[in-house]
């Protein structure tokens, strides 16, 4: 009888430990699901940010292209000749050529100067 009680206590202890383990595993799984949901939300947010950056960059490229086209059309419509460009056209062509150089801030400043000159002409 004593032996049986001892065994039962031992079994109860094992079962309790097993149940505790199950509860812990359930908690860990629930935490993992929460983490995955939170990660999904983060990715969705990042996707939105990336889309916004892509849209803005596309708009910037389109604007840049429009500006270049406008500047080139000014050169095209000028009375000077390709072999003998006037100062204004030479400056415009120089700015367009510098567009791919590493001196972006300088080129941007020149663009702004030309743009303000154009606005003054208009």
Does 25 help bind Zn ion (rule: CB under 5 A)? no
Q: Greatest CA span in the chain, whole angstroms?
A: 118
Q: In angstroms, rounded to a whole number, what is the distance separating the alpha carbons of residues 114 and 89?
A: 11
DSSP letter at 82? T
Q: Which residue bears the tokens 């939170």?
A: 38
Out of 13, 50, 80, 108, the only residue in the binding site for Zn ion (CB under 5 A) is 80
Q: Which stretch binds Zn ion (CB under 5 A): 11-19, 22-30, 70-78, 94-102?
A: 70-78
Q: Interacting stretch for Zn ion, rule CB under 5 A, among 3-11, 47-55, 75-83, 106-114?
A: 75-83
Count of residues of this chain found to bind Zn ion when the rule CB under 5 A is applied:
4
- The reply on whether position 78 binds Zn ion by CB under 5 A is yes
What is the residue whose two structure tokens read 């080129």? 107
Closest CA to 112 of 90, 95, 94: 95
Q: Exactly one of 49, 62, 66, 86 binds Zn ion (CB under 5 A); which one?
A: 86
In the complex, least distance from residue 70 CB atom to Zn ion, rounded to whole angstroms: 15
Element (H, E) at 40: helix 2-77
- Residues in the site for Zn ion, rule: CB under 5 A? 78, 80, 86, 89
């Amino acid at each position: 009888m004593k032996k049986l009680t001892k065994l039962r206590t031992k079994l109860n202890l094992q079962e309790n430990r097993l149940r505790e383990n199950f509860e812990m595993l359930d908690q860990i799984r629930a935490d993992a699901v929460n983490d995955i949901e939170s990660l999904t939300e983060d990715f969705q947010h990042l996707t939105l940010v990336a889309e916004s950056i892509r849209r803005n960059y596309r708009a910037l490229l389109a604007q840049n292209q429009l500006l270049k086209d406008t500047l080139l059309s000014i050169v095209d419509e000028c009375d000077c000749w390709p072999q003998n460009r006037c100062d204004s056209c030479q400056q415009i062509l120089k700015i367009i050529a510098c567009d791919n150089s590493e001196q972006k801030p300088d080129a941007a400043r020149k663009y702004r100067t030309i743009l303000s000159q154009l606005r003054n002409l208009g």
